[in-house]
Chains A and B, each alone.
Chain A
């Protein structure tokens, strides 16, 4: 009994490892659990225009890095004649173009692909909490600011609600004179930022890009970020609502400036964007980073090997089905794993053609074998003869099929010839010894198991899971091992011993 519980622990470990690894892969690498799922991808292009003055040029653009609500899929820079690099600085990620000498109008492109990802870029706590900036006002402004702050302070309880109250006052249809005074001197987002910092709450103005399909010449839109409970919370300066609006990509957050151009004038930056839907699988593959689980996947292999594995990794599914059909159901097949191999070849032909080809070859083979048995050959020679004949038959069927314009002929070559030769040999012996009935039973048994295995292996979800989540095979293994310990009756035994019903 002790060994039995150890066995079940192993099974449990296999299943849990399979599920756990699969889940990790799903979460970390974004591999979808079901095939055919699509996800939106934003292609965003930043275009920088400036006039070069014939001096060394250095252009420096702040990049979004990993903005909240989005995951970066890939990025490219296109700008002929410029050196390009991406620099990680303490204040964020920046793109840098450099050139020894440039004249006239210059255009630089930076492209990035982003996919909405609700959980991505959720910031960890900012530590240490940023200090509110010191704000300088002239005396008149200071009084107005002070009064505005006091009114808002009364009606609020948290930094966020304080910001909301402030924005309400400033955007009212008839702002009071304090608000009007300040608004005449500062743009709204900056004013809010100043007021908040003045009141001792850290706030900053970030630049966000509103994502709308097929827009060109867009510019960044300022958005207020208020520091609350150890995190930066975006607040819309116009409405005072907090939280990140959908389709807003925070491009420029902290740090110095959005764009620095040395050696050029009249610099401008514009954004254009389109929305695309990509299969989630392709997206996941684009996003792969090195190391970790992605090392343990098959994508690192050359494409040709990958397609071999795609087929190979289906075999365990077939083996599981065979195990089930033979141990639990009790179907008799000719040759234990012959049905799986037949099912694999059905995958490459089509089901109807495959079955037709298989039945034709085996029937013709049996007829020829009937003649061979009269020749009194040694067994090895007989099977070798059979192999030659099977190959001969397939090529004949191919030629005839091709001439008749039936596709059946060409697909026939996928059959495992030697396995078929053996099947014919076994069935022929079976015929002589047990009669045609047994041949039919086993033949139909093999064929139906093959069809079942084929139908399973053809399911998109099965193909998807076996290839993209190789750890699924641990679960299959656990299933096979468990069935190996099955000591109950086979389904067919219930019929076989059915006569005992009256004795019971």
Chain B
């Protein structure tokens, strides 16, 4: 099904060209990109500013360090291995638990240490990195999703994407992995996107494969019952990512841990546009409202979140 440009415009939908020209290249200074493109740097920067992130367990920078991997994860039952410069969730290996010498992936498949080592080697060689440049692998704690989230998602941990424009949260969605998306939280792979009300953290509208849905396709849970706990704190955490990066237009990915509460997972300087479909609303009117604010007026994150909760 196609839509004409004019009605799409009336809905305030942001297109990719406009996003690139009018927002990303205008508000994101190139020099600060490495901070978000490199998860390790984001993490260290977030720790410096006391933003909650999953705990870092180790970094593997060189091929010869791969041998030390076994020792690094000796005491961890579950952990995640990520390429520091990966994009779109590529190259992330989630180990749920261990059975003997084998590692159990989140999908339930068991793999041995050689597979993990090959994966690490691929990460270091830059297979998953943005420009194919050499990369480092980071190993961090597994997130323990709260009960509600565990029920919601087919596999993997649901995460929350918040678009932060000049420090104000403007739109949010919850991404639920499905059987079709193979446990991944990418919408174009078939994950369900649930648009969240900025004011309340409740479900507004949900889609899978760009089609409106009302129940989770695998777990059958009524998506309208979704309400994110601790919503205001989560938005505040997301909004503070503006202070650590000084990038005007970013997407913050957050998770809610059973014990630690909202945590910042990663940042994205080129956040996708599907969030609009998940919300059934366009970004443009909200972005314009923020742009209309005096740039010299720079309130704290708490006030920004309050402003956004009131306006959107």
Contact = CB atoms under 8 A, between A and B. Distances in A.
B276 A327 contact: no
Interface in B3-20: 3-5, 7-11, 13, 15-18
A494 B17 contact: no
Given A380-B125, A429-B127, A488 B17 contact: yes
Nearest to B276: A497
Interface in A428-451: 429, 433-434
A489 B22 CA distance: 13
Interface size class of A (residues with CB under 8 A): 20 to 34
A376 B8 contact: no
A503 B63 CA distance: 52
A496 B11 contact: no
Nearest to A489: B15
B217 interface: no
A94 to B, nearest CB: 67
Interface residues of B, number: 35
Contact of B8 (A378, A486, A497): A497
Given A379-B125, A433-B90, A499-B211, A487 B17 contact: yes
Contact of A493 (B16, B118, B127): B16
Contacts of A498: 1-3, 210
Nearest to A376: B118
Contacts of A327: 17
B16 A500 contact: no
A489 B125 contact: no
Contacts of A429: 127
Given A378-B125, A379-B122, A499 B212 contact: yes
Contact of A490 (B2, B15, B211): B15
B58 interface: no
A499 B121 CA distance: 42
A379 B17 contact: no
A379 B124 CA distance: 9
A127 interface: no
Interface string B160-200: 00000000000000000000000000000100000000000
A376 B15 CA distance: 40
A378 B120 CA distance: 11
B267 interface: no
Contact of A500 (B125, B126, B132, B277): B277
B277 A488 contact: no
B46 to A, nearest CB: 27
Contacts of A434: 189
Interface in A454-496: 484-490, 493-496
B280 interface: yes
B212 A494 contact: no
A40 interface: no
B5 A489 contact: yes
Contacts of A484: 21
Given A493-B15, A498-B2, 18 more contacts: A378-B63, A379-B126, A380-B125, A487-B15, A488-B5, A488-B15, A489-B9, A494-B4, A495-B1, A495-B3, A497-B8, A499-B1, A499-B211, A499-B277, A500-B7, A500-B8, A504-B8, A504-B10
Interface of B: 1-5, 7-11, 13, 15-18, 21-22, 63, 90, 118, 121-122, 125-127, 132, 189, 207, 210-212, 273, 276-277, 280
22 contacts: A327-B17, A378-B125, A379-B132, A380-B125, A433-B90, A484-B21, A486-B17, A486-B21, A488-B17, A489-B9, A489-B17, A490-B15, A493-B15, A496-B210, A497-B276, A498-B1, A499-B211, A500-B8, A500-B11, A500-B13, A501-B7, A504-B8
